[in-house]
Chain A
């Protein structure tokens, strides 16, 4: 339906009305009668034994309701926080998992780890109580440096060498053989810097317990309330799922950091039951820095083997991945199945071998952050391809072109376990080169040089696997959950539609996009479609939002449900019009009978379904409400070409991005305005990683970049306006032909920026982030 609100239209967002007027309802905006406040006592040490904890003064503090320790939770049968993906090592052994009690019991392993929770009548009372705790810590040497973590002190009793697994993917022998034949080998040693997610809404939770029904209700800032409920019920043992309702109201950004099940909401919902009073917690930003799961943090050595004409023969990658102190909810999967599997990139590299050792350190846990493994993979592939191009004197765009998987090669099975369904990499690169005026770069560089500046251009032709995930594939690789999605289309009596999706929007605009596809398919006015989400009390078991999956998986579930609605509507219409069902057609909101002028509107059929006067009750149930679960047969493979141009002031090391072009192939686009917005945000985070953001611990394990005074968030004046465009090869295996756009900007952009910076400076490598001092030093030595 080509109309103003259908698929493909840049419809203005439904959710904006509340957000621009201050009427959004975020977790911290919600209060409960008689609520108490939780404050977590957090370890000041990166590694210490907790030899004693004197609660008396805290308990005696005015306004303190209760003080709970890790031992209290354990005594009550509260389980550890689990990791939901079991990765196996090269030798076939499952990963080694250390105990992860929500509240530390007798040792702490990172600065900020909670070791007690104080509940007060007021926030101030709880803070006073937390300060009055007397903890007897025995500080131990901290393991901070990733590169040496395997040979450092053992952090967890059951984890030798601080290693959870030593994983491999690909054919080692074939790769070795490829290298033996190489004309040229490029080598790159790179560090993928630790990032701190920093959704602007801090995490928060409000736990309530109704003693009469035994029902727990948790409002929290989760991207996937059902997953939160599953973990709290099945692993942590708060209560059976049926007595635990998790609601994620408006959530102020997630970027992965709100996927995970954390200590704080666990303690809050448990304490609410213990105290029979509501318990509220909101992170202060300093707590977010310390205790939100961080992202990235790899040390990698990569080698690319090339033939004389630049054909890629083989790729070898060896990575150390930092897990932090414990395994967060999906931590193990990020540097493995979301990383190693992407090493083919857009190229026909025939032999690839990837090894990843994931190690513990005394730092905050590391888990998925926007892109999750795929930005790290892209950074490796696109940096080394650029390096090879320079070393071999081949234009970097040309070298990529020579190695692209061609449109005729699809479906294409990579040597690292994925089968790409479709793509046209040449098309996106060509369009990006045009937008970037690649031909004019030389003149611009000369002009910069005349002004004492250095100019560079960098490419990144990324691919990602998203639309997570085919359940059987994921489960066979170690996932502990299915990765389908549920959607429900409830046609109301008068023909308006209420949609319940298992996907969760924390900025992604589901209320608009999903309304567009339902409106388009059912011919119901856009205004008459309302999308509900984020409440385990409203929807069936669902998997939520991450991995750019909402439209490709959640949207597909809705299409399936809509198909059921249409099928049933046809039956009803056939009965009402006394026609053969096969002759009833449905388009633009009207049921028609072939070769006749008979028709019924969608609301007429809906009304008949609920007021079944003229209705085949003997054959059909009344009502018009359908639900569908959709399990994707494959991942989706968004891909694109990003080109960054920078101008560097060598005197100060300041990098100015003079242009950034992103041409992405997301398949079909439902709302181009929203897609562009997703790309913009991703680009900002990818550029932030390249130039600004760095989670830094000192050698004792103190977080040095623990506030906005030291952690450089991208601000409006750090970024350019972006040039964003798309190409389209529709996904072949989902009903909308869509691929997902949420992470692409963050996946593709970082390598483009660093390629541009190194190109400008004429150096092989610059540490990331390329801060002014880093760039200044590189400029000195160039």
Chain B
């Protein structure tokens, strides 16, 4: 690691002013991506501003129709929650036990790793990302590979999810890293169905063609009829674009089947 100044502010204001005063600051939430990056000297921030001391950012609140998950809430806490079982199940599949004990929802979605799990739920559920500046709809949040709608210095404070009627997440884990090769989150909200896909593209996206097919009958048999262009999908030694295309379909079928 290169040298940096470590800070642990107690409030969001303090965090923001530390960031404003830093040459090249970075926020630290769970550190599950940032710390390995620092260790390999792939980043050289002047200041690391740890959000772990801001107690207000942690915890899950049930608001009736929605739940709010504080940005610093660890995956393990979400996994143990019961307001949205599919979200809990998703959180329980992130990384490994140790990642779940440290990693946070805010850190995960702010990073917009194409293979992260949470983004599938963020785009599939009616969700809102609350920040120190504003509220961003979940569908507008992910902008590309490791790119989000967040401005410089803006901090996610919580993620609010509307409770679906029912939902399921099906994941095909990368055999080595345990990130998602593909993850598909299917959420039924009344008559509508939303399908979020992670792992396949530069960032999570909605599979609107499948959503349209499902509108005329909620069945796994809708999947083969839904168009899906895999030509631009991610490819690596574990899965070609074509195989990812197949996995998106299979995971979608399995998520749908589990809801029937």
Contacts and interface: CB of A to CB of B under 8 A. Distances in A.
A704 B237 CA distance: 8
A148 interface: no
A715 to B, nearest CB: 8
Interface residues of B, number: 19
Interface stretch (B66-74, B145-153, B171-179): B171-179
Nearest to A127: B41
B4 to A, nearest CB: 12
13 contacts: A127-B41, A651-B246, A653-B243, A705-B237, A710-B176, A710-B177, A712-B238, A771-B175, A772-B175, A772-B238, A772-B239, A773-B243, A776-B246
A773 B240 contact: yes
B237 A708 contact: no
A712 B247 contact: no
A708 B177 contact: yes
Contacts of B65: none
Contacts of B247: 652
Given A692-B175, A718-B175, A652 B40 contact: no
B238 A286 contact: no
A86 B112 CA distance: 54
Interface of A: 124, 127, 131, 286, 651-653, 692, 694, 696, 704-705, 708-713, 718, 771-773, 776-777
Nearest to B1: A124
B234 to A, nearest CB: 13
B6 to A, nearest CB: 15
B18 to A, nearest CB: 24
A708 B239 contact: no
Contacts of B240: 773
B220 to A, nearest CB: 11
A181 to B, nearest CB: 45
B197 to A, nearest CB: 16
6 A-B pairs with least C-beta separation: A712-B176, A709-B177, A773-B243, A712-B175, A651-B250, A710-B176
Nearest to B39: A284
Given A651-B250, A652-B250, A771-B238, A708 B176 contact: yes
Interface string B3-15: 1000000000000
Given A652-B246, A710-B237, A773-B238, 7 more contacts: A286-B40, A651-B250, A713-B176, A772-B172, A772-B175, A772-B238, A777-B243
A709 B176 contact: yes
Nearest to A653: B243
Contacts of B41: 127, 131
Nearest to B182: A652
Given A286-B40, A773-B243, A776-B243, A694 B175 contact: no
Contacts of B174: 709
B147 to A, nearest CB: 21
Interface string B208-230: 00000000000000000000000
A710 B179 CA distance: 11
A776 B174 CA distance: 15
Contacts of A708: 176-177
Nearest to B254: A651
A288 to B, nearest CB: 14
Between B172, B179, B237, the greatest number of chain A beta carbons within 10 A of the residue's beta carbon is seen for B237
Nearest to A649: B250
Given A127-B41, A652-B247, A711 B176 contact: yes
Nearest to B243: A773
Interface string B243-255: 1001100100000
Determine which residue in B3, B236, B239, B246 has the highest number of CB atoms from chain A within 10 A of its CB, and name it. B246
A775 to B, nearest CB: 11
Nearest to B178: A715
A653 B3 CA distance: 45
Nearest to A698: B237
B172 A652 contact: yes
A692 B173 CA distance: 13
Contacts of A773: 238-240, 243
A708 B40 CA distance: 14
Nearest to A711: B176
A124 to B, nearest CB: 8
B34 to A, nearest CB: 15
B177 A696 contact: no
Contacts of B179: 709
Nearest to A708: B176
Most chain B beta-carbon contacts within 10 A, residue among A124, A772, A777: A772
A704 to B, nearest CB: 6
A224 B174 CA distance: 37
Contacts of A777: 243
Contacts of A772: 172, 175, 238-239, 243
A653 B175 CA distance: 12
B37 to A, nearest CB: 12
A777 B243 CA distance: 9
Contacts of A127: 41
A332 B247 CA distance: 43
Contacts of A713: 176
Contacts of A771: 175, 238
A771 B237 CA distance: 10
Contacts of B175: 692, 712, 718, 771-772
- Report which residue of A127, A696, A704, A709 has the largest number of chain B beta carbons within 10 angstroms of its beta carbon: A709
B245 to A, nearest CB: 11
* Residue of B1, B41, B175, B246 ringed by the most chain A CB atoms within 10 A: B175
Contacts of B40: 286
A223 B179 CA distance: 35
Contacts of B3: 124
Nearest to B3: A124
A692 B243 CA distance: 17
B212 to A, nearest CB: 23
A131 B40 CA distance: 12
A286 B37 CA distance: 13
A696 B237 contact: yes
Contacts of B238: 710, 712, 771-773
Contacts of A711: 176
A651 B182 CA distance: 14
A689 to B, nearest CB: 14
Contacts of B176: 705, 708-713
B95 to A, nearest CB: 11
A585 B174 CA distance: 65
Nearest to A696: B237
Contact of B237 (A131, A651, A694, A776): A694
Interface in B10-52: 40-41
Nearest to A651: B250
B78 to A, nearest CB: 21
B228 to A, nearest CB: 15
A286 B3 CA distance: 21
A713 B40 CA distance: 21
A777 B245 CA distance: 13
Contacts of B177: 708-710
Interface in B76-107: none
B7 to A, nearest CB: 20
A514 B3 CA distance: 49
A674 to B, nearest CB: 29
Contacts of B246: 651-652, 776
A90 B246 CA distance: 50
